[in-house]
Structure 1
Amino acid sequence: AESMSHVPMSGFFFQPEPDLTQEDPDMYVSMGITAENVAEEYGVSREEQDRFALQSHERAVDAIDSGRFDEETFALDVEETLMDRGSNGRAKPETIRQSVNTDEGPRRDTSMEALSQLPSVFKKDGTVTPGNASQRSDGGAATVVMSEERVNELGVEPMARLRGFALHGVAPEVMGIGPIGAIEKVLGQTGLSKDDIGLVELNEAFAAQALAVIRETGFDEEIVNVNGGAIALGHPLGCTGAKLAATLLHEMRRRDVRYGICTMCVGGGMGAAGVIENLDA
């Protein structure tokens, strides 16, 4: 679980570890700047990033309207206390109760025109904007992973098998390309090829990063983040792996896909990738 609204990233309250700052200052490079670096190094244009962002929103909205997230999500009843200042100037608490059953991030009304008007925010004359970067969100996800021995002992029916998992390190200033090496490693580890993979869930931290990974790995964009990604749905960091795995597995079962990959970049210069096998395919 991750609550980026209550426990946000460092933002303007930046407190780096002194020794690490001396030894490797690039460890603290802004995530937005890493996306700018990737866009420049891999030739990802502003228009391409905006197009990818629009696609993320369109796919997410379609998935919500079609009920494709219903199997993997459930509603939460929440309370929010607001301070209402009355006519006498005194503030009094007001509690609002509501049921949250749909992701708030996807924008139905966005367009290429709207996205193109947003300014770059990390670099003068850059290409990374609030529209083609992932959202800071609250969220949670859960998966249950156990050994085959434990499965047999409990008599439960597994949905899938984790065929392999790999990590890969890259330079911190281009941390977004970490999945490229991780995917190569996990395919080698499992004896599979790119052509064996029917679906991919990629964390979509930035459109520039996602497009660079898709191009370098050679996956068809049509099988990547088919229900939208973090640009539309949000990117609560701590639940990324579990969320990607849950979304991937449910879509694999819908499409009768045997093998899928979930993969992500990690701030600081790491990539992770796992191959999931659908046992019903």
Structure 2
Amino acid sequence: MIGHKSIRLLSGRKFCPKWQTLSMSTLPGNQEERQAYIVSATRTPIGSFRSQLAQFTAPQLGTIAVKSAVEKSSLNKEMFEEVQIGNVMQAMVGQDPARQCSLGAGLPITTPTTTVNKVCASGMKTYMILAQAIQCGHLDVAVAGGIESMSNVPFYLPRGEVPYGGAKLIDGIVYDGLTDVYNKFHMGVCAERTAKKFQITRQEQDDFAINSYRKAADSAKLVSSMEITPVEIPATKKQQASQVTDDEEYNRVDFNKFARLATVFQKEDGTVTAGNASTLNDGASAAVIASGKAVKQHGLTPLARIVAFADASVDPVDFPVAPAYAVPKILQRTGLKIEDIAMWEINEAFSVVVLANMRMLKIDPALVNIHGGAVSIGHPLGMSGSRIVNKLALHLRSGQYGMAAICNGGGGASAILVQKM
């Protein structure tokens, strides 16, 4: 292949490192037509638990994000061939949340939809599935994204005979979102085990979390202007109409209390607290994904190209370090090295997650979560994977590579490599 060592991507096609340029015309015709690009990307603000966005269901928030992403793409709504949305806690949101987002955003009734549940990696997985569909020639224009309203997750009452002594309500957030189903304990217990295994102290986790909050505060205006589609709050008898334009969580921190917070999941020698873990939140994120063929036909200016992606799985109790097994797969497939990645987004499910993965992969901390992360702005489970991919597509500089990685319950992880156009 013109004197260069070839590399095989997930699509099975070979490409030459020489073709990793910003000029789309340098790719062979058929390969370029089947290249997946992120054309537009946006999200709602992230609301705190039972706060500003609690009046909206997950599909309603998703409708706002999908509609905005479609409008930002400048593509005719009739061109959209599929919508895939990640959503974890689907009790009482109604049938097929992705379908609700699609129709709510005004896309044609003939547009197929699919809701994806891969726990915290749900939103990211939609990008991967749609990129594969583009590579295979099955579609040219689609919407990917993720949604969650943790404020509206119901309590469950199991069906069946009522036992002696009465029935017990089960918190849907804890049961379907935050419990390791294999070991029957909270995901925070897994985080504690990771901290012990890697000898990551409470102080290290607190310092990381405080830094996350400070980065979120320092970059709030930039993030709001580049990433966020405002949410309109309708007027009621008690309040006037308003608009939410900023993430809510990072403003609620009190650094003076950080060191005094009790450990949650392990009382003796515990390290994980409410301060250095992510919070319960509401939000939605979406992006328009298009093929090289569509980009050329419609004169689009892509934000980034999806270079490669991978999943990985480890023992469920070790889920915090699963990203460190997904990332090397991508590097091997593309021939890139850790030092070739200019910007990293590793989801902050817990501070210890990022600390452990940075250590395992030997990543420069200065390149990771430069605007803060889930610890400081929140972690609406189905949304977060989409948010961190969009972050890279919007904030990388031309030609730079960015890697997004996210762990998920059950011992899994997903990662995506993008290159800014």
Q: TM-score range by the shorter chain?
A: 0.7 to 0.9
RMSD between superposed Cα atoms in Å? 2.4
* Structure 2, unpaired ranges of 5+: 1-146, 157-168
- What CA distance in whole angstroms lies between the structure 2 residues aligned with 1:16 and 1:162? 34
What SS class does the counterpart of residue 146 from structure 1 fall into? strand
Does 1:265 pair with 2:421? no
- What CA distance in whole angstroms lies between the structure 1 residues aligned with 2:417 and 2:377? 23
What SS class does the counterpart of residue 271 from structure 1 fall into? strand
**TM-score scaled to structure 2, two decimals?**
0.58
Does 1:128 pair with 2:264? no
What SS class does the counterpart of residue 306 from structure 2 fall into? strand
Matches for 1:229-244 after TM superposition, within 5 Å: 229-244=373-388
Matches for 1:1-281 after TM superposition, within 5 Å: 1-7=147-153, 12-13=170-171, 26=182, 28-65=184-221, 67-79=222-234, 94=238, 97-107=241-251, 110-111=254-255, 113-125=256-268, 126-253=270-397, 256=398, 258-279=400-421
Matched residue type, 2:297:
E
Q: CA deviation at 1:95?
A: 5.1
Percentage of pairs with the same residue: 35
Which shows bigger deviation, 234-243 or 146-155?
A: 146-155
Q: 1:216 to 1:80 in 2, by over 3 A?
A: farther
Q: 1:25 to 1:134 in 2, by over 3 A?
A: closer
What SS class does the counterpart of residue 44 from structure 1 fall into? coil
Residue equivalent to 1:87: none
* Structure 1, unpaired ranges of 5+: 18-23, 82-92
- What CA distance in whole angstroms lies between the structure 2 residues aligned with 1:57 and 1:257? 29
Matched residue type, 1:6:
N
- What CA distance in whole angstroms lies between the structure 1 residues aligned with 2:235 and 2:263? 33
**TM-score scaled to structure 1, two decimals?**
0.85
What SS class does the counterpart of residue 161 from structure 1 fall into? strand
Task: Give the aligned length.
Answer: 259
Residue equivalent to 2:134: none
- What CA distance in whole angstroms lies between the structure 1 residues aligned with 2:219 and 2:325? 30
Which shows bigger deviation, 100-109 or 212-221?
A: 100-109
Q: CA deviation at 1:102?
A: 0.7
Q: CA deviation at 1:28?
A: 4.2
Q: 1:216 to 1:149 in 2, by over 3 A?
A: same
- What CA distance in whole angstroms lies between the structure 2 residues aligned with 1:116 and 1:94? 39
- What CA distance in whole angstroms lies between the structure 1 residues aligned with 2:185 and 2:335? 36
Q: CA deviation at 1:64?
A: 0.9
